[in-house]
Amino acid sequence: MKKIITVLRIAIGWHFLYEGLIKLFAENWSAENYLGNTYGFLSGFYHWLAASPGLLAVVNFLNIWGLILIGLALFLGIVIRWSSLFGVALLVLYYFAYPPFGVSLLGSDGSTYIINQLFIEAAALVFFFFSMEKGYGLHNLIRYLKKGKVVTGKPVTVPDTGMTVNAPNVEDTPETVASLKNRREALKDIAALPVLGLMGWGAWRSGKAYGIDTLSGATVQINQASLSELKGTLPMGKLGKHNLSRLVAGGNLISGFAHARDLIYADSLFKAYNTEKKIIETLMMCEQAGVNVISVGDRCVYPVLKYKKMTGDKFIVISQSKLALDSNDIFEEIKAVIDSGADIIQVHGGQCDSLVYNNKTDLIGKMIDFIRSQGLVAGLGAHTVDSLITCEEDGIIPDYYMHTMHHDNYWSAHPRENRMKYEILSKPSTEHNMYHDNLFCPFPERTVEFVNRMKVPVMGYKVLAAGAIRPEDGFKWAFENGADFICVGMFDFQVVNDVNICLDTLQNLKNRTRAWYS
């Protein structure tokens, strides 16, 4: 039992010590991002710490040296009760920065519901606090040295033998003298010293060979803006009863639709990065940054709806849904997402294009009518403006439009003379000058003309042409040309920057002529 306790204490001590040292040696390490992106009922406290340069400097100092000193004490077995107590306090602060109450954590390790790595380590330290006598460590030697030194008394003659020996010191107890004379026990008490040397040497060699490890726990430093860097609050617009941020999160990046042209691995890469945990973390980041809505297709709508249900938040979910044309109930999918908690249903852009192309606009009208009959806002999406024009001519007017809106001034856009209507439905070409997943708003001027005569809200999407256009450029073009909302795919580390760009754009619009219809 003593050996198990010792190993556990040394392991936790090394974790503390290592986390502290890599923070100490990492260039310009700061807890600002970690504190600024926290959530939960104590987030205001952490954000306050991150917002003050003076307090942040104190937090950084205490964090680094607290981890180092606590780690050393636990590893070597010195002042275990005090180090355990301070260790628990530090772990509690980490725990409530990203509390695992129903959702995965952002910025911590081993995240599960309530019980995670931080919780387990804190529980172990509580045990150490109340049972410091157990296990091996330098505290045993210190205690023994204080209670009974190996100091001999005056020489005396042993009766009946004539031998002269040194009498035991009167302060020595049988227990302490026996323990100190037990060579194996003493070696066990100091065993952590060579272990610390070996582990420290190994960590030093690893750091020298590969650079400082900045990917553990709160030490992680992602190249992203902190929530403390937000420039303001996003303006809102209205769709039905819902108040939506002008910047809407898109679903393609988290569902694996990269539209990365000839980068054929990008879809798999995006799906590998955006696990369900990462999707939830991204949604949390969006909410904290003021983006309160996501428009998502059928491939990942259910993880998003799961997040909404788990958190109980007022996050708005737009489901880009399709008719189940091969089912006995064509509204099967729509009913499923409504039952799961979707707030707004939109006719999927790809299916709208396909139905119009095949002269089945009546099905689009039926879908719009069914969505409205369920008390929900009904949207209509498309990649080809001719789809929306045809629906309008047939008397199908949704509660809002969602259309691709970007200019074509980027190198991979194929020449105008090679563009055609409904090319999104054609097979990709291997010729660069023909369509090859490289243009999503093939006739920008026709899109702008249509948008500017519409009297219902318009949400522009693909505004960055799947990464071919910089956000500063794409946001401005879409808003100036009439979009009431823009839908943008964002990785978690892009959210704050995109929000700030959107704020700057909206505050400096000069050439917009269309009225805001939301």
- Given this model, what pLDDT does residue 309 score? 80
Distance spanning both ends of the chain, measured CA to CA: 68
Q: Which two tokens stand for residue 261?
A: 């042209």
Q: Are strands 164-168 and 152-157 parallel, antiparallel or unpaired?
A: antiparallel
- Given this model, what pLDDT does residue 171 score? 46
- Given this model, what pLDDT does residue 105 score? 44
- Given this model, what pLDDT does residue 386 score? 96
**Nearest partner of 259 among 494, 468, 460, 487, judged by Cα:** 468
- Given this model, what pLDDT does residue 151 score? 42
CATH (one of 3.30.1490.20, 3.10.50.40, 3.30.450.40, 3.20.20.100) for 243-507: 3.20.20.100
- Given this model, what pLDDT does residue 417 score? 92
What span, in angstroms and rounded, lies between the C-alpha atoms of 511 and 337?
39
Q: For 421-432, how does the pLDDT look when each residue is reduced to its tens digit (9 = 90+)?
A: 898 887 767 788
- Given this model, what pLDDT does residue 512 score? 96
* CA 20 distance to own-chain centroid: 23
What span, in angstroms and rounded, lies between the C-alpha atoms of 174 and 511?
92
What span, in angstroms and rounded, lies between the C-alpha atoms of 329 and 320?
18
* DSSP structural state of residue 429: P
In this prediction, the residues of the chain whose per-residue pLDDT falls under 50 are: 104-108, 149-153, 165, 167-172, 176-177, 179-181, 183, 214-222
Q: For 440-469, how does the pLDDT look when each residue is reduced to its tens digit (9 = 90+)?
A: 999 999 999 999 999 999 999 999 999 999
Extract the runs of DSSP E, i.e. beta strands, from 300-437.
316-321, 344-347, 377-382, 400-404
**DSSP 3-state assignment of 10?**
helix
- This prediction has a pTM of 0.71
Distances, alpha carbon 518 to alpha carbons 145, 242, 433, in Å: 78, 10, 39
How many Cβ atoms from other residues are within 10 Å of residue 262's Cβ?
Answer: 12
- Domain spans of the chain, in order of start: 2-137+191-219, 243-507
- Given this model, what pLDDT does residue 469 score? 97
